[in-house]
Structure 1
């Protein structure tokens, strides 16, 4: 199709589906390939360019006084035809066409609109770029064409696959799909799209491919069966397809044959709006498809322009008229003849006379509700026109070229048009901004389409959202999710993951030999946590913290010590207070009966002092219960040591007095009592107690017991304990008590057979035996008890030894005072009993 003008634009469109190569004899020049399978959509795209040129010519504000023409070629979907067309337009070797009433010629083509295939566009652009002839594609999306070094004069009004891939990834992330299959056509479009998808997927870390398969050329049943078999076995529910309509048709036949349902399809722009796939047989499988579609636009006046296409239009050239006849016959399924003209075989074929009107029928050709490639053709023509218009606006002396010169349409070089085309910026009637980035790519705007299957069996591909990407940066994904049809029983988006997300408290562990999306969820170890979903590792809690039961956050470690609030602490406190109370009761009994012989026997003052010291022993055990602090840690051992030394020293002195009295009763022994007078007894007790006080003072001064948070026994607990500071000091303290106790035991043991009826030495012997047994057992138990149990062992030893002393020393006396008052006489006490060995 040709139209003369001052400036000629070239165009390459696929007006036929197929080509047949002529027979080759190698003795003559081969004939042109034969094109067949008329494509009304391709014809409409070519007519859209013709309409745009006509509209520009009628616009007095754009290219005033300049007429645009065009030279359009049919590629027939064939690479060789596309190359031939491009070479014809750039070299002037094509067939001449009528420039005016008496002139045929080869007008220069300064820019080309085309092609519709990435593969053909790559081949054409690599050639025309050598001459810097600008080429603006309306349907080639391969991201490889953004390489400015290889394609310096290439532009396009359809976004690159790189943007389409990113738009798909936005939808995938919206629904948390991380496990999907990828199918591609075996050509530049499909392979580059797959490469771009894998690259962006790896960078974003948004998922993994369950499989990647390349659809075979043509209908290869064996290969298609294998691919669909993989899809059927896979656990992925989402299938992303960068393929052409013909590849999808072949694939769907095998999908139906194997009955592969329950898949969520995602369509690339190549087949998102394909009407041939929207049939009742395919919809059970393809319904619910989400797809990325190039921007839909509106072109006012295009319908009226198309309605004027008639074979009997006198303005058409013979070549154009033949093409229109072919279109007319395709629409009306007839053979066109002029009115009144005879036609052989008219009984066998229906005739078109030109009286038919496109207005009377609804055809795919006139369905302008979904203008997408046509809208890109329209924008491509206007982009070239605006670049030419900017050339006309150049002021000599301030131009962009050498010497600040301007270009002129009469001697316009293609590279000069490329310069202006790179800087084009205008807005269409539909409100879309048209400009190109540094790679020649248009600002990417996509529609999100959804394949709906209505209850009545009808189908609809509906716009449910948009993706706007500005200046190569991902913009907003807008989805009207309430409108989306999901072809699943739940009517909700499917879940497509290789492994379920790992909840907080676990970490991901990759499965060996499988993609990163396939993993096991391993619970965090004790003391480690993960507080977010799909954590790759667990983090350790700080020193004073530990993981909770769910392992999803750190909590303060339990502070463990012998508490007043726990059962053990309550029991020991009760026993301690009971012992102190019992001492008070005995003290009261002895005070009340202080004049009786039992109380007065063997220095009642020492008896009262022993009761007081025992009460202090009972009460000092309370210092071992409760939260350890510096004051309690220092006081507990000192109070314990001094209290017990006071008690044991009184018992020692009492035992020594018993022995002295016995010795004094023998002939010649009267002088011994002068060494055991009241003052000497008091002085001895004070002296022995001061030694322990000195030991405690030295210990506390040099290496004082301090509170310590012990984390060695348990990882999840902090044992708050008092460390003794100096083990030597603690050993001396206990050793001194033990020394006095053993000395008392030995002396009492020697006096056990004294002839008095009430022989106190026997009770002292028994009390010291109990005392020594308790503390001998205490040492290994204390060393081997962790944390609070060490304190409990020491408290138990204090209470056991205190109760032993109290009961052994004062139990028999209380028994006599209360229950056997007849024995509480001097005579009864002075009677000699039968000695026992």
Structure 2
């Protein structure tokens, strides 16, 4: 058989991968022993260990197939330990001829023992070695370096990858955010070639669609002196930000540091993972990882490598040889002893997702198909020379190589590179779901380059702490329903203005508010109109009950006083009080008390008219009676010019005076009811979904004239009583008239500002009803309660003074 070899029959493909679980080792077949290492590192990474084994398994599978008949592929493995310098050292070592790298004018015929290179894991290292390999047009294929700059075939003509460029990842990220209507996000990226390029691609792709509330860059070297300080600053920015979605373009180690800060402060967000850490198994097992919130990410399309699981189950050194890496893996990862019997192979398989190692299988097959074309292989033999210059392994489209390019089918899928050396398949959308205290990674959608859109699987559900009722959480700097947008300087953000009462918006970022339909209303900032609740003085409410109780007590006092005045009408006290006028006063008070009841229940047109009319007539009648009594006292005991006194006495006609004074109020009310009648009206408060059903006064002039007329009568009463305050004590009612009218005037002076302030609520009725009750009780307790007390509890004094009192009354009446 023809063999593509270097020193040993297993040195064809070279894998330079970041932080492999073992040091530089030229031999890597699990069935062989190990050679002396060029350098020693102890870091162990389970994922890259299995990816290496996947490449080895694929090489062995090809060697046992008819893809390259008569050709046996080999490999050598080198670990650069995340250092570009060590990566370049590895490349120089692998390309060396007779122990050194030749310096030639023309490398067309440069024939190193290694024909192609598989690596690197991180873009920063791939860029470093791709610059060197471009000098030789040496084929380099990566399974995870996604930086967009590597698509530049003028700078990196021999670089290829079995994944899409980060340009497409940026498109996928923007499409994901747009799908969930997230347009206000935070961005955190590493200060390296990969982080800066991915960040720039995302910002260019998201321009005008998604805006960043904050953009933070952190050193990508873990041993940087300020890395912890930067992480704390970023964590503080995340906590202060209103953005609920944060894009992390970081290495897994930096993500771990950030998540620890978030867990300590119990901060939950929606995290969007770049491909650098979206599949990291160590992070899924972090302590309290379920506290950080939802985690989404895009991973490169994965698949199942046929026979790989059985290959791992049967993984063991050949008899007589020792593979320290497998034993070290058992010690460090599974805490197994060196005895194979105490550590089941199933434990190894459960610790990782074998689908992550599928890209290595695709990359090896891409090289193999390029080699098959170069060596003109058929099903039985390959006729080409195995000692060929590496640049002749052509896998790209004719834009670079004129003759042919690789286009192959593997496991039922067709693969090819585009003109930039990138795969054009797409990404899997993954979500970290909870499982006990850990997370497991589940594919919930895809991003396909052919249609450029995110497709979410139908069984997708929100499951974490950031959401309720399976509703998508919001992360928007835009105007929510209930407000309208006012353009700001930021394209993705607006200055929002809330819709006023009676207006609404039911969508995001609407330009103007809509008016509520008739019969419905909305509060300020509402997103919909609702039927409002009518508010008025209902019978079962506390205020109306209090008003009814006060009214009932007042009517009882009026009725009691009327009975007492009738039964004891012949006593000196009742006669001095003028029984007839007192009865009319009680009648007016009773009517005024009854008017309070009309302020309770839902207002209608008849009630609104009756409220003011009944009160106006009733209380005017009462005050008119007081005015007649005050005028009588004024005439009897004041000294006038005889002619003038004679004229004034002609005006004293009690019943006529009473009718004229009350009739004047009746005329005022008649004009008011005809030309500006009170009517029910709806008033809206400043807050709440309630409307107040109140009685509108109709004509403010009519309302004011009615109360002004009563106030004028009260003032005249006060004036006449004040003038006659020096009359003999036995016939002196001037004191109670003065005091009762002062109470009335004071109550209604206070009523005016309070009534105006409460004009748009049902409390306006409470204010007026309370004022009516206060005025009524003022008259009741000044004019009637003391007289009833004297009549009932001082009868003996009345009897002794009755004879003398009757004489005085005769004189008093004669004087009138």
Q: Partner of 2:784: helix, strand, or coil?
A: helix
583, 603, 610: which is aligned to 2:558?
583
Question: Does the 8 A contact of 1:575 with 1:799 survive in 2?
Answer: no
Equivalent residue number for residue 212 of structure 1? 218
1:240-292: CA deviation from partner (whole Å, max 9, x where unpaired): 89569xx99xx99x9xxxxxx999999998899999x99xxxx99x9x99999
Once the two structures are superposed, the pairs formed by residues 329-348 of structure 1 within 5 Å of their partners are none
* Displacement of 1:296: 7.7
Equivalent residue number for residue 776 of structure 2? 798
110, 118, 121: which is aligned to 1:94?
110
Whole-angstrom distance in 2 between the partners of 1:433 and 1:626: 81
* Displacement of 1:198: 8.9
Alignment of 1:440 with 2:453, yes or no, is no
Q: 1:626 to 1:113 in 2, by over 3 A?
A: same
* Displacement of 1:640: 1.9
Equivalent residue number for residue 465 of structure 1? 441
Question: Does the 8 A contact of 2:192 with 2:220 survive in 1?
Answer: no
Equivalent residue number for residue 116 of structure 1? 120
* Displacement of 1:696: 1.5
Question: Does the 8 A contact of 1:602 with 1:658 survive in 2?
Answer: no
Question: Does the 8 A contact of 2:317 with 2:323 survive in 1?
Answer: no
Equivalent residue number for residue 694 of structure 1? 667
1:270-326: CA deviation from partner (whole Å, max 9, x where unpaired): 899999x99xxxx99x9x99999985854549969x99999xxxxxxxxxxxxxxxx
Equivalent residue number for residue 649 of structure 1? 624
1:643-691: CA deviation from partner (whole Å, max 9, x where unpaired): 122233345556777899999xxx999x9999799xx755543333222
TM norm structure 1? 0.51
Equivalent residue number for residue 730 of structure 1? 703
Q: 1:584 to 1:147 in 2, by over 3 A?
A: farther
* Displacement of 1:58: 5.9
Equivalent residue number for residue 103 of structure 1? none
Alignment of 1:379 with 2:362, yes or no, is yes
Q: Partner of 1:800: helix, strand, or coil?
A: helix
Equivalent residue number for residue 745 of structure 2? 776
Equivalent residue number for residue 386 of structure 2? none
* Displacement of 1:745: 6.0
Q: Partner of 1:471: helix, strand, or coil?
A: strand
* Displacement of 1:212: 0.8
Equivalent residue number for residue 180 of structure 2? none
Whole-angstrom distance in 1 between the partners of 2:76 and 2:446: 34
**Structure 1 stretch displaced more, 795-804 or 77-86:** 77-86
Question: Does the 8 A contact of 1:292 with 1:449 survive in 2?
Answer: no
Question: Does the 8 A contact of 2:626 with 2:737 survive in 1?
Answer: no
TM norm structure 2? 0.52
Q: 1:623 to 1:368 in 2, by over 3 A?
A: closer
Question: Cα RMSD between the aligned structures?
Answer: 7.9
* Displacement of 1:583: 2.1
Structure 2 gap ranges (5+): 6-10, 26-35, 42-47, 80-86, 177-183, 239-245, 258-262, 326-339, 377-392, 449-453, 467-473, 481-497, 502-512
45, 54, 57: which is aligned to 2:63?
54
Question: Does the 8 A contact of 1:706 with 1:724 survive in 2?
Answer: yes
Equivalent residue number for residue 142 of structure 1? 147
1:494-517: CA deviation from partner (whole Å, max 9, x where unpaired): xxxxxxx99xxxx9xxxxxxxxxx
Structure 1 gap ranges (5+): 20-33, 60-65, 98-105, 171-177, 217-222, 255-260, 311-327, 334-358, 393-408, 451-461, 483-491, 494-500, 508-523, 528-538
Q: 1:135 to 1:576 in 2, by over 3 A?
A: same
Whole-angstrom distance in 1 between the partners of 2:567 and 2:700: 45
Q: Partner of 2:220: helix, strand, or coil?
A: strand
1:526-562: CA deviation from partner (whole Å, max 9, x where unpaired): x9xxxxxxxxxxx9xx998889xxx9x9999999988
Question: Does the 8 A contact of 1:767 with 1:809 survive in 2?
Answer: no
Question: Does the 8 A contact of 2:740 with 2:779 survive in 1?
Answer: yes
565, 590, 595: which is aligned to 1:620?
595
* Displacement of 1:152: 8.9
Q: How many residues align?
A: 631
Q: Partner of 1:470: helix, strand, or coil?
A: strand
Whole-angstrom distance in 2 between the partners of 1:572 and 1:152: 94
* Displacement of 1:730: 3.5
